[in-house]
Chains A and B, each alone.
Chain A
Amino acid sequence: MMERLIENSAQLILLLVLAPLVTGVIRTLKARLQTRRGPGILQPYRDLGKLFRKGMVIPETASWIFAATPWVVFFSTVLVGLMIPMVAADAPLGLFGGVLAVIYLLGLGRFFLALSGMDSGSSFGGLGSSREMTISALAEPAMMLAIFTVAIGAGSTGLTDIAGAAIGQHWRFLAPAQMFAFAALALVLIAETGRIPVDNPDTHLELTMIHEAMILEYSGPYLALIEWAASIKQLVLMTLLINCFWPFGLQPTWFGFGAVEGISWLMAKLLLLSCAIVLLETVNAKMRLFRVPELLAVAFTLGSLALVSTFLF
């Protein structure tokens, strides 16, 4: 009982602290690749700190949904963060749900975010909500196929079991089924975290934004909560991808020196994945909204290939 509590607290602190850092690293790397200096990797912390100290403007037309949403989004994302294996293969709150619960809890956050987008009555919010729900719906079948492939390989949808199965065979990610599933999940990750070429997290251009359009009316601490939750979600999905496919350095428990080693491995792998994302974002332009279904169709095809290869090879 006590051990669980310590594990949960440790992972909670790691989540809350590491998430803005990953966002900062990605931004800085991207700036460097575009020969800009960039604001420095600590800028997301400064942004959050400033937002938390500020006042808020709440739209006159908004209801209690507007005030409840940041909390629902933040709590559901943090809960998801505790349900995945980060440093130890054993997820602290693994009992609360496996990979399906992770997806559906993120869905709960998105549901409320989309509602809050429509709450103020501004047309941008509706635009963002409509696009967000469309894209996430189209991403779902590809994600589920890839997850089914992984779950079939591990014999479980529990993330502790999935990571455990991966630890047993370090080089398993080279199997065709795993590679296809990885590619499908990577595409879905791009769509889910709102990165180029699906959405651009840095834009506030009226016609192209998706996530930013939904949260346009938020300010101050509520905006900080949503931004923080968005970076935690990004960290969670990246970690999920990493630990299901490249389990190197994943420790059996959170206790002892292993934890330091586990955290270093996690950071190294996150850095690698961030570099890949930065490269992808820099060499690609944002897609037209109606081209996104094609990208997700590619993901779906990869997912199907993954599934078929589980028993072909």
Chain B
Amino acid sequence: MTAELFLSGIIVWLAGAMTSLVLWRRPPTARRVGCGAALGGSLLVLVGSAAAIFSGSSPEISLPFGNPVFSWAIRMDPLSAFFNGTLAALAAAVSLYSFGYLRPMEGRRNLGAFGFFFNLLLLSLALVFSASNAFFFLVAWEVMALTAYCLISFEHEKKETRNAGVLFLIMSHAGTGLLLIAFLVLSSVSGSLDFTSFHLLASRLPPLQQGTIFVLFLFGFGVKAGLVPVHIWLPKAHPVAPSNVSALMSGIVIKTGIYGMARVFFDFYGPIPLWMGTLLLGLGVASALLGVLYALMEHDLKRLLAWHSIENIGIILMGFGAALMFRSLGYANLAALALIAALYHTFNHAMFKGLLFLGAGSVVQATHTRNMERMGGLIRRMPVTALCFLVGAVAISGLPPLNGFVSEWLTYQALLAGFGTTHSLTRLMFPIAGSLLALTAALAAACFVKAFAIPFLALPRSEEAADAREVSFPMRAGMAVLALGCIALGLGATWFVRVFDPITQQTLGVRASSALVMARGWALSPGTAHGGTISTAGIALFFLLAGAAFALPLAMRWRRRSVRGPAWDCGLPGLTADNEYTATAFSKPLRMIFSALYRPRREIQAEYEVSPYYPSAIRFESEIEPTFEKHLYDPLRQWIMAVANRMKGIQAGSINLYLAYIFLTLILLLLFGVRQ
């Protein structure tokens, strides 16, 4: 039954892709068909995944047109079902939103093509999450990368968009190359491409090979996930895509990297050497911290959100790294706790980042700019968008009682428990990672004060912002669904942790959720001997009761005694948008404190006629140094260009020469084959 539901979802997506492509000359129909199929397929897959998880079964489907070497095999084990559920939950909301978001594009852009690529992206994502054969997996992986490229480059008339798309494609393929090598090594040992034959296989390899494959997988999947230092495509590519695509990219496409790591590190590897988990934990901390620090410096609303994706991937990887370390040290229950924290955060991030990107999309559609410094006061013009964005901002900052808090709390608990697992100095890693997670979370809160306050509060900073209009109903509905998701995942934490039981059973052989739920489902505990508890539902109930009993009646009474007056304008003639704090000014203290990282550069030019004390115009420019591009990627690019220049010599363009090359290659291969 679950397999049929999943398969019918896939077919609906495929049909939607084809139909909307055929209907491209009728934009309204193409839009409805494209979004409708995406929504319908998502709901089917959502129900199918939920059924697979709760029934604990792993249905398998093999498509009939396979061949002896590889099969088109799908296997929905709990891990696959969880990621498919994440995909479907997000995609349903995004599809709903797209009904309204794409409408103004009718007649201006090819919505048939958009519907085609959009449905195909969902389809390929679902196949990536459920393929059980390395060849099939890589095919789905490539289809996903190509459709994502086409969607990123949808507004291809801008040079920025084209460049970002190409960068994504190059880095994505470099990553795929690494994966290809790693999978080939594994299959040469097992003699099959089937994932089931890889189970615990990697741990049986010699140490050097084991480590090499680990690094290949780590960076191969890390490119997609946005792991530092292979993250540089992400803050460029996510903002330039249409906003519904950005939501999918940040919400779920980067999670394919997380899925890949989970699949490889917990399924293909047994308990691994400790350094691997330590490396993952360290890279997670670096990604989290650098992601949020660069996010703070952005005033492009969508790029700011893209940097936060890197931060959240870092938090997820901290959980993963800790889980791997605990498994190596033989603490299965703690490993389950850390894995639950990581996967919970994965789902949460899909919800709140999807929500924030949809909110940003609404704002960008209303104000025609991504620059926060030209927004402002939108809470009055777009109240629903503002409320939904606020929910997302509170959730991503990890504040109670919403979902971000629950998963960050679980991560802290896992890190805290880690201190007692070993007597070596490695154990210092855990509390230090914990304190840097605290720094990350606090900086994220600072960043989202900026990201909410500058666009939505105070006075409009431009005419476009002053004339902004609330977005259409489907767009509001899409955001509201995700906002409710964030609230439900926060308050219903004790219910949701049960979802992870089949996954931890499959990967670690323990079921942890019953130890995590306390006080008849009111409180969550880390399941360790003492451990603290949290009760998000209790906290929410306290706020609701106190609000209803005191805040409402008193606010009503005080309202009669209140008057509206002007805000303090420092004695100037009236408060204008020019007096307001800007996004750049807001993050200035942090720019100065972390100047060793940012290496900020600023230029001030004053034009004056009479005396320098009376300037007629001032031009101010400020930028920070893109460290990774400058010190890592620029030398690499120069080296590649130099090598390519050298190799130009052997490409003379004469067909005889190329025939000679082919002949030589053939002989070499034959010699090599004979020697074997």
Contacts and interface: CB of A to CB of B under 8 A. Distances in A.
Contact of B589 (A123, A145, A289): A289
B558 A221 contact: yes
A209 B71 CA distance: 68
Given A107-B399, A111-B397, A122 B569 contact: yes
B208 interface: no
A118 B400 contact: no
A137 B562 contact: no
Interface string B361-385: 0000000000000000101100000
B457 A131 contact: no
Given A55-B562, A56-B562, A130-B587, A120 B534 contact: no
Nearest to A143: B438
B453 A107 contact: no
Instruction: State the majority secondary structure of interface residues on A.
Output: helix
Contacts of B446: 114, 133-134, 136-137
B566 A98 contact: no
A186 interface: no
A179 to B, nearest CB: 18
Contact of A56 (B420, B538, B563, B568): B563
B252 interface: no
Contacts of A96: 523, 533-535, 538-539, 542
A101 B564 contact: no
B431 interface: yes
Given A95-B523, A118-B457, A60 B547 contact: no
**Contact-residue size bin, chain A (C-beta under 8 Å from the other chain):** 35 or more
Contacts of A63: 379-380, 456-457
B78 to A, nearest CB: 29
A158 B581 contact: no
Contacts of A175: none
Contacts of A57: 562-565
A64 B450 CA distance: 17
Contact of A104 (B405, B431, B529, B530): B405
B452 A115 contact: yes
Given A98-B532, A111-B445, A75 B580 contact: no
Contacts of B579: 121-123
A127 interface: yes
Nearest to B542: A79
A308 interface: yes
Interface stretch (A13-21, A149-157, A231-239): A149-157
B40 to A, nearest CB: 37
Interface stretch (B9-17, B338-346, B411-419): B411-419
B171 interface: no
B428 A133 contact: no
B554 interface: yes
A11 interface: no
A83 to B, nearest CB: 9
Contacts of B405: 104
B563 A108 contact: no
B189 interface: no
Interface string B568-589: 1110000101011100011111
Interface string B391-406: 0001001111000010
Contacts of A262: none
B529 A129 contact: no
Contacts of A217: 567-568
Given A107-B399, A133-B446, A155-B530, A61 B535 contact: no
A108 to B, nearest CB: 4
B435 A108 contact: no
Contacts of A222: 558
A94 to B, nearest CB: 8
B438 A71 contact: no
Interface centre among B458, B459, B567 (most CB of A within 10 A): B567
Interface centre among B419, B446, B555 (most CB of A within 10 A): B446
B522 interface: yes
Interface string A100-122: 11011101101100110011111
Contacts of A108: 394, 399-400
Contacts of A94: 533
B530 A158 contact: yes
Contacts of A220: 558, 561-562
Interface string A58-91: 1111111101000110011011000000000000
B519 interface: yes
A293 B446 CA distance: 16
Contact of A125 (B416, B443, B523, B581): B581
A98 B5 CA distance: 43
A60 to B, nearest CB: 5
A303 interface: yes
Given A138-B439, A156-B531, 16 more contacts: A63-B380, A63-B457, A78-B546, A94-B533, A97-B539, A98-B533, A111-B397, A130-B587, A133-B442, A140-B435, A144-B437, A148-B416, A154-B530, A157-B532, A220-B558, A221-B554
Interface of A: 54-65, 67, 71-72, 75-76, 78-79, 93-101, 103-105, 107-108, 110-111, 114-115, 118-127, 129-131, 133-134, 136-145, 148-149, 151-152, 154-159, 161, 216-217, 220-222, 289-290, 293, 300, 303-304, 307-308
16 contacts: A59-B564, A60-B565, A63-B379, A65-B457, A76-B543, A101-B534, A111-B394, A114-B449, A118-B457, A122-B569, A139-B442, A140-B441, A157-B413, A158-B530, A161-B530, A220-B561
Interface of B: 377, 379-380, 394, 397-400, 405, 409, 412-413, 416, 419-420, 428, 431-432, 434-439, 441-443, 445-446, 448-449, 452-454, 456-459, 518-519, 522-523, 529-535, 538-539, 542-543, 546-547, 551, 554-555, 558, 561-570, 575, 577, 579-581, 585-590, 592-593
